[in-house]
Amino acid sequence: MSPHSVVVIGAGAAGLTAAIRAGEAGARVVLLNAHPKIGLKILMSGGTRCNVTHREVTERDFHGSSRNAIARVLRAFTSEQSREWFESLGVGLKLEETGKYFPATDDAQTVLDALLGAVERAGVEVESGARVVRLGRTTGASPTSAASTAAAPHFRIGIQDVGASAAFDDGRVAAHGGDAWELPAVEPSRWLEADRVMLATGGLSFPRTGSDGVGYALVTSLGHTLVAPVPALTPLTSTDALCSTVQGLTYEAELALWVGERVVERVSGSLLVAHFGFSGPAALDLSRHWHRAGEGAAAGARRVTLNSLPGETRESLTDAWVKVAKFNPQVTVKKHYAARVPERLFARLCQEAGVTPGTAMGQVTREQRAMLIERLVARDLAVTGTLGYEKAEVTAGGVPLAEVNTATMESRVCPGLYLCGEILDVEGRLGGFNFQWAWSSGTVAGRAAGTRTR
C-alpha cells in the first residue's frame, strides 16, 4: 500500500488532463477508472468526431456556478492554449463554420490516443476496472491544515476491482432526498494511499460508460455540498402532432421555456423533429432549463413554445402581411413564406390555422392571419419531459465553485482534494464548451496538485 503523490479518480477528459499535468509536474500519479475501457465519452462525443473546443469560449457559454469563478478557470487555460496543446500532441485540428474545432481526421480516437500517449509519457500509472467506493482521510490527518499533510499520506482510497466484463447499465448510486448520496454497499477489494486526490468522476450522463454518481457520494462524504444534479444537453420528449407529421425535419428555430406567464429561457439553433420529440442543439440546450424550471411548485406551470421564424414577432409578421396584402394582394400565403419555412411544416401550421396555403394573402381573414402567425412564432409544443441521463451529454449541478479555490481547484472544505470537470456545478452549451471546461479545470488542478507534491 505504498503511497502515491497523487491519485486521480476518473479517466475522462478532465481526469486524463489532470493526470498528465500532475505527471509532467513531477508527481507520482496513478489514474483510476471505474469502467474497463477508458475515454468512452470522448469516443462518443460529436458523433464520434470529438468537438475538442470552440473558437470563442467565455463564461457566458456556461451555466451553474458564478460566471466570474468560471472565467478565472477558463483564463488559466484558454481555448487557444488548448488548440496549441493538441497540436503539440500531434492532433491536427480543423475549424468549421460553426466555430467548432474537430480533429482533422474526423475521428475521436485520434484525440483519445493522443491523450493516452501523453499519459504514458508523463509516467502516469493507469488502472482501469478500478471503481473507487471509499475515500477518506488517514488517521491523524488534519481536516483544516494543508501544511500539516506534507509529512505523510493523508487519503485512503478504497477500490472495488470490477473486472473486464463489468456492466454499468444499472449501477448508479441512489440519491435520497435530492442531495444525500450513499456510498456503494460493497466493501473495497483493496486500498491505496495518497498525498493528494483529484476527483474527476463526472456526473450521471450515459451511465453505461461508468458514470454511476459515485463521485457525488465520495465528495459529500468529505463534507462538500451539491447543487442537485439534473440531465443537460438531452433531447426533449413530446406527444406533439408535429412528431408524426413532420418527423425527420431539421431546421433553424427558436424555443422558449415559460413558467406561468414568464419566459425563463430562449434558445435558438438547429431543431430536429423526431418520433419521440425534439433533438438538435436548440432542444438540447433547453433541456437543463426544463429540468431546473420543474423543481418545486413550478413543475406544472412549464410549457415550451416554438418560433419557426427566429427573430420575428407577431407584430413584425403582421406588419409585413398587411403591406403585402395592400400592395401585392394576389401573392399567395405559400409563396410569401416559401423561402423561410420548410414546406411540410408550413402545410401543417396552415392546416392548424385553417388557412389554405394557395390562398391570396389579401383574401385571408384577420382571424385566420392571426392564427397562422401565432403558430409561426409562438406555437405551443406538447413537451412531456426529456430522455434523461441515458442520452444526456452532460450533467448540470454538482459541487459549487464557491467550495473550491479556482486558482488551484483545491477544495476549501477538504485540503488536499482537488476537483475538476463535470463533478463541479458548471456545464456549457453545445459546441465544445464542456470539453474546454475539462481541459481548463483539469490543467489547473493537475498542475497545482503535481507541483504541491513534487
**Total-model pTM:** 0.91
Task: Give the mean model confidence (pLDDT) for residues 386-406.
Answer: 97
pLDDT digits (tens, 9 = 90+) for 326-340: 999 999 999 999 999
pLDDT, one tens digit per residue, over 422-440 is 999 999 999 999 999 999 9
CA angle at 290 for the pair 39 and 207, rounded to the nearest 5°? 25
CB burial readout 373-412, b (16+ within 10 A) else e: bbbbbbbebebebbbbbebbbbbbbbbbbebbebebbbbe
Longest Cα–Cα distance in the chain = 87
- Residues 128-146, mean pLDDT to the nearest whole number: 75
Q: How confident is the model at residue 139 (pLDDT cuts 50, 70, 90)?
A: low
Asked if residue 414 has pLDDT above 50, the reply is: yes
Mean pLDDT of all residues in 19-30: 97
Burial of 132 (0-12, 13-18, 19+ CB in 10 A): buried
**What is the pLDDT confidence band of residue 153, given thresholds at 50, 70 and 90?**
low
Is residue 298 classed exposed, middle or buried when 0-12, 13-18 and 19+ CB atoms within 10 A define those classes?
middle
Is the pLDDT higher at 127 or at 175? Answer: 127
Angle between helices 343-353 and 366-377 (to 10 degrees): 130
The arithmetic mean of pLDDT across residues 184-203, rounded, is: 95
Beta strands 236-238 and 277-279, pairing class: antiparallel
Q: For 112-116, 120-124, 211-215, 433-437, which range has the lowest pLDDT when averaged over its residues? A: 211-215
**Average of per-residue pLDDT across 142-146:** 44
Q: Quick: pLDDT tens for 287-317.
A: 999 999 987 655 568 999 999 999 999 999 9
Q: Say what the pLDDT of residue 138 is.
A: 84
What was the pLDDT predicted at 207? 86
Secondary structure class of 131 (helix, strand, coil): strand
Share the mean pLDDT of the chain.
92
**131 has a pLDDT exceeding 90:** yes
Three-class DSSP category at 86: helix
Q: Is the pLDDT of residue 280 over 60?
A: yes
pLDDT beyond 60 at 92: yes
Nearest CA-CA partner of 65 in 450, 419, 391: 419
Instruction: Report how far residue 226's alpha carbon sits from residue 262's, in angstroms, rounded to the nearest whole number.
Output: 28
18: pLDDT strictly greater than 60: yes
Query: Rounded to whole angstroms, how far apart are CA atoms 65 and 397?
Result: 9
Residue 2 carries which DSSP code? P
pLDDT of 296 reads 65
Edge-to-edge strands of the sheet including 250-259? 379-381, 302-307, 250-259, 262-273, 277-279, 236-238, 383-386
The answer on pLDDT for 152 being more than 70 is no
Q: pLDDT band at 3, cuts 50/70/90?
A: low
Look at residue 163 in the predicted model and tell me its pLDDT.
74
Which residue would you say has higher pLDDT here, 289 or 142?
A: 289
Q: Which 3 state secondary structure label does DSSP give 192?
A: strand
pLDDT computed for residue 178 by the predictor: 47
* Range list of β-strands (E), 111-242: 125-128, 130-137, 155-161, 175-176, 180-181, 190-199, 227-232, 236-238
**pLDDT at res. 169:** 47
Give mean pLDDT, residues 101-125: 98
Please calculate the CA angle 269-436-95 and round it to the nearest 5 degrees.
60
Model confidence at 350, pLDDT cuts 50, 70, 90, reads very high
Q: Let me know: does 290 contact 304? Beta carbons within 8 Å.
A: yes
pLDDT of amino acid 258? 96
Strands 29-33 and 125-128, bridge-based pairing: parallel
pLDDT at residue 143 above 80?
A: no
Above 60 in pLDDT, residue 171? Answer: no
CA distances from 315 to 268, 319, 331, 369 (A): 20, 6, 20, 12
Is the predicted pLDDT of residue 175 greater than 90, yes or no?
no
Domains of the chain: 4-230+392-452 (3.50.50.60), 235-386 (no CATH)
Closest CA to 449 of 407, 400, 401: 407
Q: What is the pLDDT of residue 256?
A: 98
CB 290 within 8 A of CB 299: no
SS3 122: coil
Average pLDDT over residues 186-211: 93
pLDDT the model gives residue 147: 43
